[in-house]
Amino acid sequence: MTVLLGPSHIAMVAKGVSAIVASRDAALRPSIMRAVGSRISSDGREVTVYLRRSQSEQLLQDIAHTGEIAVVFSVPSTHQTLQLKARRATQRPATDGDLPVLQAYLQSMVQEVGRVGYGPQYVGAMLAAPLQDVVAVTFTPTSAFDQTPGPRAGAELCAPPAPPTPPVPQP
């Protein structure tokens, strides 16, 4: 599997920024919800977003039926935005092992949203999620797009160039 994301995009998602999750049903009707947490593997090959089951029933149903997911990650203070898409997402209930990820995400969002003028109580209310109501949705991005407002908005991101391979000696 090709890695789509470079170090700066991986760092952006790993920091914990706004994440909006979407999918669609068989009739192409969209479903969408704000994530209450996210994480990305160090190589960018695996992304997990956390959704409240009670607020995301249609979205979780659409992901389960189609496997398709699109997630927009955005830095509130700069509008730097990245969209990831995948065709095979899996779901599982969140566990105690996910709590550090959710807590770190909340703290990062308090800082990020605070930069645009909203206090910690606002962010706390927006991202409040009892663990028993949280579902982890994991996927491997198959396409990525720069969605930052400006001339590159909508541009598909390509995998970073592979290091040159040494020439093969000819017999």
Q: How confident is the model at residue 171 (pLDDT cuts 50, 70, 90)?
A: low
CA dihedral 130, 14, 33, 109 (to 10 degrees): 70
Task: Output the pLDDT for position 164.
Answer: 65
pLDDT at 167 over 90: no
Distance CA 76, CA 97 (A): 27
List, for residues 38-50, the tens digit of each pLDDT value: 999 999 999 999 9
What does the pLDDT read at residue 49?
Answer: 98
The pLDDT of residue 2: 60
Please determine, for residue 160, whether its predicted confidence score (pLDDT) is greater than 70.
no
pLDDT at 1 over 60: no
Instruction: Give the model confidence (pLDDT) of 39-95 as tens digits.
Output: 999 999 999 999 999 999 999 999 999 999 999 999 999 999 999 999 999 999 999
Q: Which two tokens stand for residue 94?
A: 């969140």
57-61, 140-144, 150-154: segment of lowest average pLDDT: 150-154
4 falls in which pLDDT band (50, 70, 90)? confident
- 141/156 Cα distance (integer angstroms): 12
pLDDT digits (tens, 9 = 90+) for 98-134: 999 999 999 999 999 999 999 999 999 999 999 999 9
Residue found under tokens 């709590």:
99
Three-state secondary structure string covering the chain? CCCCCCHHHHHHHHHCCEEEEEEECCCCCEEEEECCEEEECCCCCCEEEEEEHHHCHHHHHHHHHHCCEEEEEECCCCCCEEEEEECCEEEEECCHHHHHHHHHHHHHHHHHHHCCCCCHHHHHHHHCCCHHHEEEEEECCCEEEECCCCCCCCEECCCCCCCCCCCCCCC
- Using the predicted structure, report yes or no on whether residue 170 has a pLDDT greater than 90: no
φ, ψ of residue 3 to 5 degrees: the values are: -85, 125
pTM recorded for the entire structure: 0.89
